[in-house]
Structures are given as C-alpha cells and as structure tokens.
Amino acid sequence: TTPNTNAAANHTHTLSPTKMLPEKDRQHRTEIETCLKLPSLSSIRKSFLAHNCLLPPDTKAEASQRRKRLVGTSLRGRVWKACILSQRREELDVNMYLGLLEKNGCVSEEYISIYGDVLRSKKVFQDRVNEDESRRVLQAFTLREGTGWYSQSTPYHVGLFLYHMSEIEAFYVYTQWMKHHVPVLFQVAHSKGTFAVLQVARSLLQHLDPQLERHLDDNGVEWIIFGLPWVTTFFTENNELDEVIKLWDFFVLFGFHFISLIVACFLILHRQDIMQITTATSIIMKLKETRLVNAQQLIMIAVRLMREIPEDKYSRMVNVMTHREVASKILKEELHTQVELGVASS
C-alpha cells in the first residue's frame, strides 16, 4: 500500500467546526483558533489551564472524517504541530518521504520488528489508526535516522500523531519530536534513559510524598519494573485512547519532561491502595494493573504540585530528557549510592 500523496501534501488542510458543539466548547475552540493564528503558544497554555486542563473536544465533522480515514488535521492536531515544531521548522518534503519508502524494498530485521510492534499497539488504537501508515512512518524514520532510535514503544507514539494528522505530517512531526523533545529517552542504550527519568520521578516523590516513597523503598520495589512502560509510551500502553490523548495534550503543551512528575503524581493518586500492600511483588502487580481512568484529575494534581518542586529538582526534570550529560550524572549518582549501601550492609 502506498500513501495518498496528493491529500497528504496538502498539509494545511483543516476540518470545519460544527455548530453542534455546546456554546462553551465553541468559545474554547475560538480561543485556540485565535492563538494559533498569532501564533501564541503561551496563550494556548493559559486557555488549557483556564478550561480545567482540557483542550476543546473534536467536532462531529472531525470525528466523522477520522472514522472515514480521510486526510485532515483536527484542531488538536494543529495545536500539537504548532507546539512540537515551535522552535524547529524544516520544509515538509513529500518526495524525500517517498524516496525513503522506495529504499525499503526488502524485508529487514527492523521491518519484522516494526510489523509485530504495530500489531501490539492495535490494542490501544483498534481500527482508528491505519497500520500500513504506522509501518511506513516507522520504516522511513528508521531509514533516515538509524535503528538506534527504535524501540517497541515507538508505534504508540506514531499512532497518536497519525490519529490527528496525515501520514506525511505525522512522519515530519514525529521526527522532530524524537530528535528534539525526547532524544535521551531513546538514544541512551539499555533503558538507561528511562532509568534516569524514573530516578527523577523517585526524587520528586521523595519530596512531595516522602512517606509513600519510603514505603516503596522499604518494600524493595524496583521502579523500572512498573515504570518502564509508563515512561517509554507516556502512559499510552494498556490505557483508553481518549484518556491518553488528554494526557498527551498536557505533555505537548508544557513539555514531555513532565513525565517524571506525572509518574510521581500517578503514584500519589493511588497512594491509599499502595500503602495497604506490604510486599514488592504485590505492589508491582497492583501498579501494572492500575489504569489511567481520569487524565484530567492527574494533570490537575501535577499542575498544583509542580509549584512545590525545589529549583534543583525542577531543573533536572526539565533537562533529563534532552541533555545526555544530565542523565549520565543521575545514573552515576545512583550507582554511587548503591555502592555505598552495599558497603554499609556488608
């Protein structure tokens, strides 16, 4: 299957709103449309916070277009593009994208991995994202940037972009997102980037809810076991798509580095259940089974608690996703701590 290049090339096409939305949602859409025309990302963020940490819902026209798999960029898709591409804009080159696909003439090991991982992501997206499009975007990205960027979680990211924009737009936005917003997470080998992010989350929890952090520590809970899919998929895996999109709105608008705070807040949100369990195995099992059921509530907790984060911890949270030296320093400090604990216990 080949991409619809004529439709995809028209990347400025948008879908018309409908008067069927409630008045407050129409007003909210008008606010966001005005911000996009300026463009003013700070105004979009203010509107998001003023409307209880939500972007306006899709119109019926947008939902209908998506069900029919017609190319078009929803209001949310335009917001996502504006935020992710705010500082780094390259020319969207359809011929370059098609050229990358033409290079992929043989079935490689990477293609086999991509094929299987896209199938696994279908649990979240059902039939709402075209699997062929997901595979093409991932194959083109891997050919352009190299296999070092690929992980089993990447089909979830690509699927979210494809849900809101055309195939070639999704490739373009996804490429910029990976290279400029979350590079450390996927470029540091053997999940070390994820481990560094989780160490930041643990440090935040230690400050925001020391009793809960101590409970996890005293029971020997390994954060990487339950936190790996939370961080690498940004809570997409195993959760309802509508809730995931609300959470991604927050990440897109304020920064994906806030994943560390969201992990800490997710634990705080479920602290009552966690505190009642006293074995590592049972705590980890409970956390793996716990789903994202109210993204808006989680975001509002994060917005409230972010004001309480000390400057040094806040700086680490902001930089761990994009600065390799920050991640390396965090990992070295944790290794040093573990060595000291080993010496003290021997």
pLDDT in tens, 5-43: 544 444 444 444 445 678 888 889 998 988 888 778 899
Q: What CA–CA distance (Å, rounded) separates 97 from 201?
A: 37
Q: Provide the pLDDT confidence category of residue 336 given band limits of 50, 70 and 90.
A: confident
* pLDDT score recorded for residue 160: 96
Instruction: Identify the weakest region by mean pLDDT among 9-13, 47-51, 190-194, 301-305.
Output: 9-13
* pLDDT score recorded for residue 17: 47
Using H for helix, E for strand and C for coil, what is the string for the chain? CCCCHHHHHCCCCECCCCCCCCHHHHHHHHHHHHHHHCCCHHHHHHHHHHCCCCCCCCCHHHHHHHHCCCCCECHHHHHHHHHHCCCCCCCCCHHHHHHHHHHCCCCCHHHHHHHHHHHHHHHHHCCCCCHHHHHHHHHHHHHHHCHHHCCCCHHHHHHHHHHHCCHHHHHHHHHHHHHHCCHHHHHCCCCHHHHHHHHHHHHHHHHHCHHHHHHHHHCCCCHHHHHHHHHHCCCCCCCCHHHHHHHHHHHHHHCHHHHHHHHHHHHHHCHHHHHCCCCHHHHHHHHHHCCCCCHHHHHHHHHHHHHHCCHHHHHHHHHCCCCHHHHHHHHHHHHHHHHHHHHHHC
Q: What CA–CA distance (Å, rounded) separates 310 from 290?
A: 29
* pLDDT score recorded for residue 321: 93
* pLDDT score recorded for residue 68: 64
Q: What CA–CA distance (Å, rounded) separates 116 from 170?
A: 20
Instruction: Identify the weakest region by mean pLDDT among 37-46, 84-93, 127-136, 191-200.
Output: 84-93
* pLDDT score recorded for residue 19: 52
Percent of the chain with pLDDT over 90: 62
Q: What is the amino acid identity at position 34? A: T
Q: How many CB atoms lie within 10 A of CB 315?
A: 12
pLDDT in tens, 131-182: 999 999 999 998 888 877 888 899 999 999 999 988 999 999 999 999 999 9
* pLDDT score recorded for residue 150: 84
Look at 103 and 72; give whichever has higher pLDDT. Answer: 103
* pLDDT score recorded for residue 258: 98
Backbone angles phi, psi at 170, to 5 degrees: -60, -40
Contacts of 128 (CB under 8 A, 6+ apart): 66, 163, 241
Centroid of chain to Cα 188: 17
Least Cα distance to 319 among 242, 311, 85, 305 occurs for 311
* pLDDT score recorded for residue 343: 55
Backbone angles phi, psi at 334, to 5 degrees: -65, -40
Which of 112-126, 149-163, 270-284, 319-333 has the highest mean predicted lDDT (pLDDT)? Answer: 270-284
User: Using an 8 Å Cβ cutoff, are 173 and 156 in contact?
Assistant: no
Backbone angles phi, psi at 181, to 5 degrees: -110, -35
User: How far are the Cα atoms of 87, 221, 231, 279, 280 from residue 217, in angstroms, in the given order?
Assistant: 40, 6, 19, 11, 9
Q: What CA–CA distance (Å, rounded) separates 313 from 317?
A: 6
pLDDT at 69 over 50: yes
Residue with tokens 């000390």: 310
Average pLDDT score, the chain? 87
Q: What is the pTM of this model?
A: 0.90
pLDDT in tens, 268-313: 999 999 999 999 999 999 999 999 999 999 999 999 999 999 999 9
